[in-house]
Structure 1
Amino acid sequence: MHEYIIFDFDGTLVDSKEAVISAYNQLARKHGFLPMKADMIDELMEMSVLERCKALKFPIYKLPIYAPQLFKYYKEGIRDILFFPGIKETLEELKNRGYKLAVISSNEEENIRDFLNMQGIDYIDDVFCSSSLFGKDKVIKKFLKAFNLKANEVMYVGDEVRDVVACKKTGVKVIWAGWGYEHIEHVKKESPDYMAYEPDDILGIL
């Protein structure tokens, strides 16, 4: 049996699209990147992360430099972020079934914990965060080592290609969250172990 169910945060647990866009546009205005306009969003959502950065003329190699500013702007809009419909009920049912719950994200731990506290969620056991957009596999390995877990004792739920890639590198099974931000055609190429189209599907997969 899986001991832990690990969730990505943005795009999996929460619909933070507006907060992310707002934070990015504040950063773009300050540093001269192309802003995200409303009529660009659908097209951008069909692109990979690297393609989005290229389209917006955002130098992804400078993300570690800009990340603290981006998360500061994100934090300003955190009260407007909501769980995706059905997620909270799924988390509660998982907890009732005896699973431990965790979050592994590229967001800041402070942002995630602030959101969970505002929502009155005290049953997510652990939050681990990556300082790198593409370093999630290292955080998963750190998580497994911290709790002396084998890869087959956890399940990861995430919405992006990089979530699937990170899990493949660590041997952890991954459920793709179809309600999130990554286009299905990008995700299919990486062959996630399972595909969930509604949060309730996670219960059936487990």
Structure 2
Amino acid sequence: MNQMVTLKKPEAMIFDMDGTLFQTESLLIPVYHRLFDILREEGHHEGPTPPDELMLGCLGMLLPDIWNKVIPNATDEAKARADELLLQLELEDLKAGSGVLYPGVKETLQELHSRGVKLFVASNGLEHYVKEIAGIHGIAEWFDDLYSAGEFSTASKVDLVKLLLDKHQIKNAWMVGDRSSDVEAGAKNGQTVIGCAYAGFGNEDELKGSNAYINDFTELLELYNQAE
């Protein structure tokens, strides 16, 4: 954690979901392999499943951008089917108990909520996926709202966060996330960015431009306590 920076206490915190609150690979990797098994069975894909690392490296992107990187030569029909399957299989596995939050997420969110901080999610994921994670893992009650690109059809996380800030009239927020899209969304909307360095899905420059960094989710509460 960056101990040298002095931050202003926020009225709200906006969280990315995958790689920030939710340990995505605990759900995604088994789903990913089943998805490609089905695509092959249905004639939408030939050859081996693309490497896990390729998919994990795309986390935080919008779905069309993910498939353009993972299966760039696939037909539009194949990519649309991959969209359907990803949501279907993820929801099935979530309801069956797959997937975990990062250590300390529940306790930290509950404490921040109890202190009057408004909490939001802004994710490039699908609406039902984001809401299902929050509901199943018992954190939905602490959030003022859950925003997803899937629900609002935003072209970027910058747009999604602007929508959130405008609707809830938030002037001073911390954008908390693990990808460059989170850094950009916070910075371009004039907000403080807290870079989460524990997921490891991106490259070493992924969080460049963050105002502070945390290596464990519980360090967020320490940053809040130190803020003025």
Q: 1:69 aligns to what?
A: 85
User: Match for 2:169: what amino acid?
Assistant: N
Q: 1:126 aligns to what?
A: 145
Q: How far did 1:11 drift? A: 0.9
Q: 1:177 aligns to what?
A: 196
Q: 2:45 aligns to what?
A: 32
CA 3–54 in structure 1, closer or farther in 2 if over 3 Å, else same:
same
Instruction: Compute the TM-score of the two structures, normalised by the length of structure 1.
Output: 0.80
Q: How far did 1:67 drift? A: 2.7
RMSD: 3.1
User: Match for 1:169: what amino acid?
Assistant: K
Gaps in structure 1 of 5+ consecutive residues: none
Identity of aligned residues (%): 25
User: Match for 2:93: what amino acid?
Assistant: G
Q: Which residue among 149, 160, 185 is the counterpart of 2:170?
A: 149
Check the 8 A contact 1:160/1:181 in 2, yes or no: no
SS of structure 2 residue aligned to 1:204: helix
SS of structure 2 residue aligned to 1:2: coil
Alpha-carbon separation, structure 1, partners of 2:75 and 2:121: 25
User: Matched residue pairs, number?
Assistant: 199
Query: Do residues 3 (structure 1) and 11 (structure 2) align?
Result: yes
User: Match for 1:75: what amino acid?
Assistant: L
Please give the residue correspondences for 1:16-165 in structure 2 after superposition, counting only pairs within 5 Å: 16-29=24-37, 30=39, 31-32=44-45, 34-37=48-51, 41=53, 56-58=70-72, 65=80, 66-78=82-94, 79-121=97-139, 122-131=141-150, 135-150=156-171, 153-165=172-184
Alpha-carbon separation, structure 2, partners of 1:176 and 1:133: 22
CA 48–24 in structure 1, closer or farther in 2 if over 3 Å, else same:
closer
Gaps in structure 2 of 5+ consecutive residues: 1-8
CA 73–204 in structure 1, closer or farther in 2 if over 3 Å, else same:
same
Q: How far did 1:21 drift? A: 2.2
SS of structure 2 residue aligned to 1:145: helix
Who wins on radius of gyration, i.e. which is larger?
Answer: 2
Alpha-carbon separation, structure 2, partners of 1:119 and 1:54: 31
Alpha-carbon separation, structure 2, partners of 1:93 and 1:53: 38
